[in-house]
Structure 1
Amino acid sequence: MEIEQLYNLYSQSFLIDTDTRKIRKGSIFFALKGENFNGNLFADEAIAKGASYAVIDEIIETDNTNIIKVKNGLETLQKLANYHRRKLEIPIISLTGSNGKTTTKELINAVLSTKYNTVATQGNLNNHIGVPLTILSMTPKTDIGVVEMGANHMGEIKFLCNIAEPNYGYITNFGKAHLEGFGSFENIIKGKSELYNFIKKENGIVFVNSDDKLQNQQSEGIKKISYNQKVIALEEVNPYVKVTFKNITISSNLIGKYNFTNIAAAITIGDYFKVEPLDIKTAIENYIPTNNRSQIVLKNSNKIILDAYNANPSSMKEALENFNLLKSENKIAILGDMFELGKESLKEHQKIALLATSFNFNKVYLIGKAFSTVTVKNAFQFESFEAFKKSQNYININNTSILIKGSRGMALERILDLL
C-alpha cells in the first residue's frame, strides 16, 4: 500500500496505536518488533479491541481484510509521520541536548499551551519510534508541535530531523552524556549540532543561550533568537529557582541553578510566539516536576532532593555544586553509577567522587560497580543498592538535606523506602 493510501485511512481518525493493551477505537495498529516482542502476533487482537486497521510486516494466518501488509512496519510508520508533518504546515519546535531536554520540553509546552493548541512529546519518547508517534499524535487542530529528540550515536538527530522537519530548534547544552555511543565529547557536540545543521538548511530559527559559548559557536550563520541573564535574570536558588522577566518575578517549583536555562528557554520561546508575560509566569509557576526529576521530597524530618531519573558527568557535577550552595546544616550525598560512559567510565566516576568529597557534606555514599572501584577518601562505597541497604548506613538520619542522584538503571528512588 502506498503512503498516500495509508494516510487516507489514518486521516479518518488521526489515531495510531502500538500497544494492544491501549487500543483506541478507530485507530491504526502498527505491529512493531523488538528484541523481546513481535507486534505482528497481535494484529487480530488489536482489531478485535477496536482498531480499524493493523499494519504488519510478517505473513500471519488471518482472515481479516483490514490487515495491511508492508515491507517494514517501523519504516512505514516513520514515512507516514513525515507525510503527515508536511500536511500539517505548522511550526514545529525540536529540542535536543545532553541534559534537561524533557524538563525544558514540558516547560515550553506549558507556556505555549496557554495560547495555542499544542502537542508535545509524551514523557521521553524521543527516539526513532517516539518522534514519529509524536508527529502522528498531532491533528489539523494542532497549532504548534514540540518534539524532543534524544540520541546516543552520530547521525540520530539528523535522522529524526528528516522525519519531523522542524522549523525551530533549541539545544539545551552540550555535556558528557552517552560518551560510550558518541565516542568523544567532540562527537557529542557534532551529534547534537545536527539539529542546528537541519534548521540552517531549512532557513529556520534557533533559540540560543548567548551566555553559552558552545551554543554561540555552533549556531553561527543561522537565524537566531537569543537570551541571556541580562534579559532574563536569575534572582535566587534556595532551593527553588526564581527569575525576573519584563519586571515580572517568576517563582518556579524547580530546584538547582541548572534549571535556570530551562526556564529561560521556555520564557524566550513563549515570548517569541507572543504569549502574554503573565501567562508565561502562571504556566511556569504551575509546573511541578515528576518522575524523579529534581523533586523535593519531605520525609520525616529530612528534605530529599530526588534526581534519580538520569545522570551523566555534566549533570552530576551541576547537581553537586548546586547542593553545596543549599543552605542547610546537615547534608548527605547519595550517588549512583553513571551509565553509558564506555572507556571514560572510571575516569569520570573518579572525578565525581573527588568532587563530592571536596565539599563539606556530612557524608557521601557512592553506590554501584563503577563507584566501588574509584579511589577516594571520606566516602562510603557500595557495589550495589543491595549492599547499601544491608549496611543500614541510612538508619538514624534526621534533620538532614539529602541529594539522591544516579542513572535510571540504578533506581535510587528505592532509597526513599529506607529513610
Structure 2
Amino acid sequence: MALSIQHIIPKIGAEYHGKNPDATIDNVSIDSRSLQNNPLTLFFALVGPNNDAHIYIDELIGKGIQNFVVTNIPKDLGGKANFLKVKNTTEALQQFAVFYRNLYSFPVIGITGSNGKTIVKEWLNFLLSPDYNIIRSPKSYNSQVGVPLSVISINEKHNLGIFEAGISTINEMQKLEPIIRPTIGLLTNIGSAHDEGFANLGEKIKEKLKLFVDVDVLIYNKNKTIDAFIKNSKTFTWSCKDRNADVFISKKTILDKTLLHIDFGDHHFDLKIPFLDDASIENAIQCMMILLHFGYDYKTIESRMELLYPVEMRLKVKNGINNSTLIDDSYSSDFQSLKIALDFLESQKHHKKKTLILSDIFQSGLDKEELYAKVSQLIISNKINRVIGIGSTISEFKNKFLNSITFKNTEDFINAFDTLSFGNETILIKGARTFEFEKIVALLEEKTHETVLEINLNAISHNLNFFKSKLNPETKLMVMVKAFGYGNGGFEIAKLLEHHKVDYLGVAFADEGISLKTAGITTPIMVLNPENTSFPSIIQYQLEPEIYSVKGLNAFLKISEQKKLYHYPVHIKLDTGMHRLGFQENDLPELIATLKNTPSIKVKSILSHMATSDDLNQKQFALSQIDLFEKLSSNLMQELKINPIRHILNTSGISNFTEAQYDMVRLGIGLYGISNDAEEQHYLENVSTLKSIVSQIRTINEGESVGYGRRFMAEKTTKIATIPIGYADGISRSWGNGLGFVTINHQKAYIVGSICMDMLMVDCSEINCKEGDQVIIFGESPTVNLIAEKTHTIPYEILTSISQRVKRVFYRE
C-alpha cells in the first residue's frame, strides 16, 4: 500500500486540514497502543459507546504519527498533523476499505452464517494455498471494523481472497458487502448465535444473504427454509437429505473417520475426513463444494480433504519453564496474523525480555526479500529481544534479525533445546501447522496436572465494555483484581485492564498490589483493606491505601511524616450502612481536624460501599446510603476545601443506581461474567471455563458402591468415569452425591458419591466417551451461577475457591 492523502480525501468524503498535503501512507491503524504505528500510518480515530480515540491523538503525534481521520480536531492540535475530518470515522474506515477493495480484481470467496465461518475459512486456505496466493481475514476479523482491516491487507501479489462477515443485527451486512465484494458466496450453518438481534429466523437469513447480492455463484446446504429466500439465479447446492441438490452426500463412520460418498451429476466418488462430529463434517463439506466449483479432480480433493485438522482459533497464554510466559499461536504463520500476535504479546507481556520463535511465513503475497524486510521491521517496532527462526527460508534471511538464531526445521531446534536458555521472559511461539510447533510448546510449558481453568480475554474485554457503556463519558472506572482476580489470575487480568486504560485497579491487601507492581503494572492501585504494618511497603511500591479509621490515619501520617512525603495519595472510606469498615458520621470532626494542615498526604478519593445494591427489594436502604454518602462526603470536601474523586457504586450499583455514578465506579464480579440480574446476564460473556479429563472408566454392577462411605449404590449396571479434580482444587463437597454434574461431550454426567480431595466420579452410562475425553466442570454448562444456587452460596465463592494448583490458561479468540 502506498497511497497519497489527496487520493484518499474524496474517497471518504473528508475535509482536509493540515500541513503536508502531499503526504503518503502505507498502512492503516485504529489502535493507539500498537507499536507498529509509524509516520506512514493513517490513524482512524474511532468513537465507541464509551471510548473516543481522539483523546490519544496528542500522544500519537508525539510518537511520530502525522495522518489522522477524525470527526473533530482536538484543541491546540490544529496545524501539528494532517487531519481528514469526516462525520463518522467508522464509516470512513469502511469507505476507505471499499475504495481499496476496488483497486483489485480477482476471485473473492465471501463467507457468512451463524457457525463455522472461521473454520471453513482456515480450511479453505489450507486446501487452496498450494495453487493460489491467498489473502484472508486474520483470526475471526469479521465485524464492521474487522472486515475493513482484513481487506486493507490485500496486495498486488494476491490472486484469491477469502473473507468472512459476521453480523449481530439488521442493516449491518449491506455495509460489509461492498467492502468484501465477493464473487463466490458460501453460506455456512444458520444457528442460534445472535438471535437476539433479529425479530425471527427469516429476518436473520435475509440479512445474511445481502452479502451475496452480486456473486457469480452461491453455495449452501439446500433446505426449504433457506430456499424460500434465495434470489440468486446461480446456486450450487448440497444436501445429505434432498436428492434435488446439485451434490448429494451420504456418510458413514469408519473407526475415527467419516466416509463421504459424493453423487455429483454423473460423477460418484468417496472421500474420508478425519472427523466424526456433525459440525466438522458440515464444515468439511462446504470446503469440498468450493473445490468442486473450482474444478479440482476427485483424487486431489480426496488427498487434501483427508489432511484437514482441528483449527485452533485462540491465542493462549500459558505458564512456561523457568518463570517464563508462553503465548501459544502455533498453528498459523502469515504476515497479518503475525502483526496481531505481536500486538497481543505487547498487551500480555509478563517480562521485559521478549522472545519470538517464528517459522517460515507463508502466503504473504510478497517476494521473500520484501516479506522478511517487513517482518524484520515488525520485530524492531515491537522491541523483540531475541528471534529464533525455524525453517529453510527464514534461515536464509537470518541477517535481517538482530540477536537471532535459526534452525532448518523443528527437529533441529528440539535437538539443540538443551543448549538454549529460556527463563524470565515472554515467549511468542508463532508457526505454520506443518512445523508442528506444538512440540516446542510441550517442551517450554510448565508441567502441571491436566485440570485447567481457561480464561477468555475476549470475554473480559466484552464485559468491561458492556459496563463502560452504562457510564457517563467522564466517569472514571476502577476494576477489582483482588483475590487473584476473583480466582481468574491477578497479573494477566491486570495487564489486560491496563491495556484498556482503566483508571484504577483495586486489591484487598498490600501483598496483592506489590505482586502486580513488581510484575510491571503501572496503573494506580488502591489497597482497600490495608493493615497498619503494611504501610511502609505500600509507600515503597507506590500503592494507594484506603484509610478507614482514625487509628489507621494516625499510623499512616506518622510514617508519611517520617519519610517526609508530600501529598501522598490516600482514599478515605466512609461507613454509610455496611458497618464493616469506614469512618462514621460522629468520626468526621476528628477526621477533619486531623486532615487539616497535613501536607504529607492528599485525599485522592472519598468512597463508601453499598450493602444492598443487588437487591431492589431493599432499594430504600441503598438510596439512604447514597444520601448519607452525599452528605458526609460533601461535608468533608467543604471543610477541607478539596475536590477529590467520589465513588460508591459496585457492579450491581452500576446497573441499578446509575444516577449515583459520581466521579468513579468500581467494577468487580461483573467483569468476570457474573450478574445477579437474569436479564443482564444474557449480555455478559462467560469468562472462566474449568476443564479436566476422564482419567478412567469402569463398569460396576447392581449393588456395588462408589467412593468414601459408599454413599452411591448402583441400582443397575452403571458406567463410572473418574475425573482428576476434587475439593483441594476448590470443588465444594456439597456439589456431590447426585446434586451436581459435569459436561462430557455436550451431555450431563451427574456426580456420584462424595467428592474426594483430588477426584470426583460421575455416571456416564448414557454418554459415548472414553478415557482422555475433555470434561467441563463449569463454564457454559454448568454455569457458576447454577452451582452457586444449588449449593446455597454465591458465585464469588465458587470462583475464588479454585486452587492455585489449577493451571490458568489465558486465551484470545
- TM-score, normalised by the number of residues in structure 1: 0.65
Q: 2:292 & 2:26 partners in 1: Cα distance?
A: 30
Matched ranges for 1:58-97 at <5 A: 58-60=72-74, 61-62=76-77, 63-97=79-113
Counterpart position of 2:774: 402
Root-mean-square deviation over aligned CA pairs: 4.8
Q: Is the 8 A contact 1:7 1:84 kept in 2?
A: no
Relative distance call for 1:38 and 1:102 in structure 2 (3 A) is same
Q: Structure 1: where are the runs of 5+ without partners? A: 311-335, 346-359, 364-377, 383-387
Please give the secondary structure, in 2, of the residue aligned with 1:29.
strand
Relative distance call for 1:255 and 1:14 in structure 2 (3 A) is farther
Q: 1:102 & 1:220 partners in 2: Cα distance?
A: 25
Q: Give yes or no for the alignment of 1:113 onto 2:134.
A: no
Relative distance call for 1:47 and 1:172 in structure 2 (3 A) is same
Relative distance call for 1:290 and 1:284 in structure 2 (3 A) is farther
User: Once the two structures are superposed, what CA deviation does each residue of 1:77-108 show, in whole Å capped at 9, x if it has no partner?
Assistant: 11111112222122222111121121112112
Counterpart position of 1:317: none
Q: Give yes or no for the alignment of 1:19 onto 2:31.
A: yes
Which residue of 251, 269, 277 corresponds with 1:256? 277
Q: 2:308 & 2:142 partners in 1: Cα distance?
A: 24
Relative distance call for 1:56 and 1:105 in structure 2 (3 A) is same
Q: Is the 8 A contact 1:205 1:224 kept in 2?
A: yes
Q: 1:10 & 1:17 partners in 2: Cα distance?
A: 20
Matched ranges for 1:301-380 at <5 A: 380=740
- Higher Cα Rg: structure 1 or 2? 2
Relative distance call for 1:302 and 1:79 in structure 2 (3 A) is same
For structure 1, which segment, 32-41 or 394-403, has the greater mean C-alpha deviation from structure 2 after superposition? 394-403
Q: 1:193 & 1:65 partners in 2: Cα distance?
A: 42
Please give the secondary structure, in 2, of the residue aligned with 1:71.
coil
- Tell me which of the two structures has the higher relative contact order, counting C-alpha pairs closer than 8 angstroms and 6 or more residues apart: 1
- 2:153 corresponds to which letter in structure 1? S
User: Once the two structures are superposed, what CA deviation does each residue of 1:301-346 show, in whole Å capped at 9, x if it has no partner?
Assistant: 9899x9x999xxxxxxxxxxxxxxxxxxxxxxxxx99xxx979x8x
Q: Give yes or no for the alignment of 1:152 onto 2:168.
A: yes
Relative distance call for 1:240 and 1:203 in structure 2 (3 A) is closer
Q: Give yes or no for the alignment of 1:270 onto 2:291.
A: yes
Q: 2:203 & 2:757 partners in 1: Cα distance?
A: 40
Q: Give yes or no for the alignment of 1:206 onto 2:218.
A: yes
Q: Structure 2: where are the runs of 5+ without partners? A: 13-20, 241-246, 263-267, 316-330, 332-441, 459-672, 683-717, 722-737, 743-750, 762-770, 785-798
Q: Give yes or no for the alignment of 1:53 onto 2:67.
A: yes
Relative distance call for 1:303 and 1:103 in structure 2 (3 A) is farther
For structure 1, which segment, 127-136 or 186-195, has the greater mean C-alpha deviation from structure 2 after superposition? 186-195
Matched ranges for 1:29-40 at <5 A: 29-40=43-54
Q: Is the 8 A contact 1:112 1:275 kept in 2?
A: no
CA deviation after TM superposition for structure 1 residue 262, in Å? 0.7
Counterpart position of 2:42: 28
Q: 1:129 & 1:43 partners in 2: Cα distance?
A: 19
Please give the secondary structure, in 2, of the residue aligned with 1:133.
helix
User: Once the two structures are superposed, what CA deviation does each residue of 1:188-208 show, in whole Å capped at 9, x if it has no partner?
Assistant: 33333333xx42xx2631012
Q: 1:7 & 1:258 partners in 2: Cα distance?
A: 41
Relative distance call for 1:309 and 1:49 in structure 2 (3 A) is closer
Please give the secondary structure, in 1, of the residue aligned with 2:253.
strand
CA deviation after TM superposition for structure 1 residue 283, in Å? 6.9
Q: 1:155 & 1:47 partners in 2: Cα distance?
A: 35
Q: 1:94 & 1:158 partners in 2: Cα distance?
A: 13
Q: Is the 8 A contact 1:115 1:275 kept in 2?
A: no
- 1:267 corresponds to which letter in structure 2? M
Q: Is the 8 A contact 2:249 2:261 kept in 1?
A: yes
- 2:284 corresponds to which letter in structure 1? I
CA deviation after TM superposition for structure 1 residue 128, in Å? 0.9
Relative distance call for 1:309 and 1:24 in structure 2 (3 A) is closer
Q: 1:34 & 1:174 partners in 2: Cα distance?
A: 29
Q: 1:136 & 1:221 partners in 2: Cα distance?
A: 28
CA deviation after TM superposition for structure 1 residue 56, in Å? 2.2
Q: Is the 8 A contact 2:98 2:179 kept in 1?
A: yes
Relative distance call for 1:24 and 1:142 in structure 2 (3 A) is farther
User: Once the two structures are superposed, what CA deviation does each residue of 1:344-403 show, in whole Å capped at 9, x if it has no partner?
Assistant: x8xxxxxxxxxxxxxx9868xxxxxxxxxxxxxx76279xxxxx9xx9789425846335
Q: 1:403 & 1:15 partners in 2: Cα distance?
A: 44
Q: Is the 8 A contact 2:110 2:165 kept in 1?
A: yes
CA deviation after TM superposition for structure 1 residue 130, in Å? 1.0
CA deviation after TM superposition for structure 1 residue 248, in Å? 6.4
Please give the secondary structure, in 1, of the residue aligned with 2:182.
coil
Counterpart position of 1:226: 237
Relative distance call for 1:228 and 1:45 in structure 2 (3 A) is same
CA deviation after TM superposition for structure 1 residue 263, in Å? 0.8
Q: 1:282 & 1:158 partners in 2: Cα distance?
A: 35
- 1:176 corresponds to which letter in structure 2? S
Relative distance call for 1:87 and 1:418 in structure 2 (3 A) is closer
Relative distance call for 1:215 and 1:188 in structure 2 (3 A) is same
Q: Is the 8 A contact 2:139 2:313 kept in 1?
A: no
User: Once the two structures are superposed, what CA deviation does each residue of 1:221-274 show, in whole Å capped at 9, x if it has no partner?
Assistant: 53112234565554437656565677564443x551221111111122133234
Please give the secondary structure, in 2, of the residue aligned with 1:218.
coil
Please give the secondary structure, in 1, of the residue aligned with 2:307.
helix
Please give the secondary structure, in 2, of the residue aligned with 1:225.
strand
Relative distance call for 1:65 and 1:144 in structure 2 (3 A) is same
Counterpart position of 1:141: 157
Q: 2:288 & 2:118 partners in 1: Cα distance?
A: 16
Q: 1:80 & 1:243 partners in 2: Cα distance?
A: 43
Q: Give yes or no for the alignment of 1:236 onto 2:257.
A: no
Counterpart position of 1:354: none
Q: Is the 8 A contact 2:123 2:308 kept in 1?
A: no
Q: Is the 8 A contact 2:205 2:226 kept in 1?
A: no
Please give the secondary structure, in 1, of the residue aligned with 2:149.
helix
Q: 1:106 & 1:38 partners in 2: Cα distance?
A: 33
- 2:277 corresponds to which letter in structure 1? G
Please give the secondary structure, in 1, of the residue aligned with 2:72.
coil
Relative distance call for 1:30 and 1:292 in structure 2 (3 A) is closer
Q: 1:393 & 1:78 partners in 2: Cα distance?
A: 56
How many matched pairs? 345
